[in-house]
């Protein structure tokens, strides 16, 4: 995106990739907030790529020369769609909407933290079909990313599906004894029963679940355990 620097000096470009597999590894390593993604790529189309990186919580803006991909892109829950050659005004508009969404997300997390009394810090609000469920943090074994949703794995093998991304919950729970050990998993350290050594290793949780620890998260995780 050569035009990006002209319309958004506040955006840090972490990398550009032409090979899908290299880009996948970069997304895991760099954890970007926003990805500009072509649809027709060698080795992997943009929709497949999006599915592979969805759990990381990055927003996707598809950029393509083919108008017929606009509706499929939006159905794939893309943040936006830009037609090549990219118009600078349209690019600036998309980035403005992205900034606004990020501000709103940060404000929601901040408000929820500030509005919680010492007692309510022991619970987390999870949106449900009927409104809101207030789940004791002690009941949360781990959280798992699934597309744009988060699955709460609770004690007693119960599950809840929330319509917020794992990244949002990671921010909310970062001071509550939770740790993101993998791009798709945040665990409650109170439910950790065993660590198994390996390249990254894995953990056994109180419900018997075994969850992989990402290699790049291993040292920080072990340091957190003391």
Q: What domains, with CATH codes, occur in the chain?
A: 4-114 (3.40.50.2300), 120-225 (2.40.50.1020)
Cross-strand bridge partners of residue 178: 188
Instruction: Write down the pLDDT at residue 72.
Output: 80
pLDDT (tens digit per residue) in 21-31: 999 989 888 88
Question: To which H or E segment does residue 61 belong?
Answer: strand 59-64
What's the pTM? 0.67
Q: Per-10-residue mean pLDDT for the chain, 226 residues long?
A: 62 87 88 90 89 85 86 78 89 91 79 58 80 92 89 95 87 88 94 95 97 92 90
Instruction: Write down the pLDDT at residue 119.
Output: 46
Please answer whether residues 49 and 20 qualify as being in contact, where contact means their C-beta atoms are separated by less than 8 angstroms.
yes
Instruction: Write down the pLDDT at residue 48.
Output: 92
Instruction: Write down the pLDDT at residue 126.
Output: 87
């Amino acid at each position: 995106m050569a035009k990006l620097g002209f319309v958004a000096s506040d955006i840090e470009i972490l990398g550009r990739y032409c090979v899908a597999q290299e880009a996948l590894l970069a997304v895991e390593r760099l954890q970007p907030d926003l990805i500009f993604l072509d649809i027709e790529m060698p080795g992997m189309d943009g929709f497949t790529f999006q599915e592979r990186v969805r759990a990381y919580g990055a927003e996707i803006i598809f950029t393509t020369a083919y108008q017929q991909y606009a509706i499929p892109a939006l159905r794939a829950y893309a943040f936006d769609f830009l037609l090549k050659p990219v118009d600078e005004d349209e690019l600036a508009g998309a980035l403005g909407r992205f900034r606004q969404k990020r501000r709103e997300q940060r404000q929601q997390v901040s408000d929820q933290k500030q509005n919680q009394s010492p007692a309510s810090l022991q619970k987390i609000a999870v949106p449900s079909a009927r409104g809101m469920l207030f789940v004791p943090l002690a009941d949360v074994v781990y959280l798992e990313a699934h597309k744009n949703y988060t699955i709460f794995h609770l004690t007693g093998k119960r599950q809840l599906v929330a319509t917020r991304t794992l990244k949002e919950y990671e921010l909310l729970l970062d001071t509550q004894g939770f740790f993101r050990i993998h791009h798709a998993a945040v665990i409650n350290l109170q439910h950790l029963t065993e660590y198994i050594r390996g390249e990254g290793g894995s953990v056994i949780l109180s419900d018997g679940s075994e969850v992989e620890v990402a290699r790049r998260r291993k040292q920080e995780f072990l340091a957190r355990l003391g």
